[in-house]
Structure 1
């Protein structure tokens, strides 16, 4: 790795870190699952983040709290966060997801414990309503090193940035969450000058 690049990457926060979550804690892993479903939709990351913050403000942070709140309260929270395009369907999906998680696994960690392989873990997650491949990748890539079976395929977005930075596949995997964020918020919009790793990049946009 180029001198100084590792320090620059470490200073970039992943989405879960920016949301103030500690994924070593079970309760925060559940919160991250909910956040991942919000980030997975075709909607801006700023709206997804704001909507999740509304969930935190309203105490919608555990399976029990979400079930107590019910559909109307979830729709109100989604609307307040600006998630209006998908408010009805997302409220329904979250309620069904939480019910299945509790009934089948007793909570978020139970789904990992029930899975024998990384592939089975991904398949079980995708059985939850509203959780597709994008949400699974978002959720699991930040759980590398926390859950032993959290080993999703490195996303194309991360690999594209890794190539520009001259990173190996192993390094791309280690910093995947941060590389994806760089792609979505900076590379995609060609905001190169604002990028904290601009000096290390071989991009033609530079």
Structure 2
């Protein structure tokens, strides 16, 4: 399962996730894009396009020309939501700068090691609800060990589909901690497969 499906959305978007302000902000951008009612491949492509433009920090994205952000989103297939999302991204960057100095490690500090508190703080960003917060936390557990194990409802659905326990703690015991983000991503990918697709059969 890890070999076939264990690639995080951050990895797909070209984000080399580390516990540094730039990559953490890029992950938040990705979580924002994945929060819209649009296919994950389009959201991932849009995140990659924004990175390619050099808008890799809160400061750079806040200062980016709105028309250029809209155009970049549109070219990625994000047309239905491009203007609204451009506004949300600018507001998000502004909030991250004002509240955390552009560094989401300060959000982690404000959460005080409480995952529920971190989720609440993430949802103070306009446009990010429970789903977006879950995406961020599921992926950031790769570099924030205190978040582990982060296996949300979508991941648990994937686990059930391949006969694994529908319990986060039991699932977490199946892989090393530093592989939990990839493991969770694999389970999410499986949950999104068509009903007639057999996830683990030989292709």
* Category of TM-score, reference length = shorter chain: 0.7 to 0.9
Aligned: 1:15 with 2:9: yes
Tell me which of 119, 123, 131 is aligned to 2:120: 123
TM-score scaled by structure 2? 0.82
- Equivalent positions of 1:41-80 (< 5 A) are 41-80=36-75
Report if the CA contact (8 A) 1:16-1:32 is conserved: yes
Post-superposition CA distance 1:49-101 (Å, at most 9, x none): 22112112211111121122132221111111111111111111111111111
- In structure 1, stretches of 5+ residues that fail to align are 1-7, 200-206
SS at match of 1:114: helix
| Higher RCO, Cα 8 Å, sep 6+ | 2
- In structure 2, stretches of 5+ residues that fail to align are 173-179
Q: 1:39 to 1:152 in 2, by over 3 A?
A: farther
Number of equivalences: 187
SS at match of 2:125: coil
Report if the CA contact (8 A) 1:97-1:129 is conserved: yes
Q: Tell me how far 1:148 sits from its aligned partner.
A: 4.1
SS at match of 2:140: coil
Post-superposition CA distance 1:151-184 (Å, at most 9, x none): 5863333222212323232354532221001221
Tell me which of 62, 69, 80 is aligned to 1:85: 80
TM-score scaled by structure 1? 0.81
SS at match of 1:42: coil
RMSD in angstroms over aligned alpha carbons?
Answer: 2.1
Q: Tell me how far 1:10 sits from its aligned partner.
A: 4.3
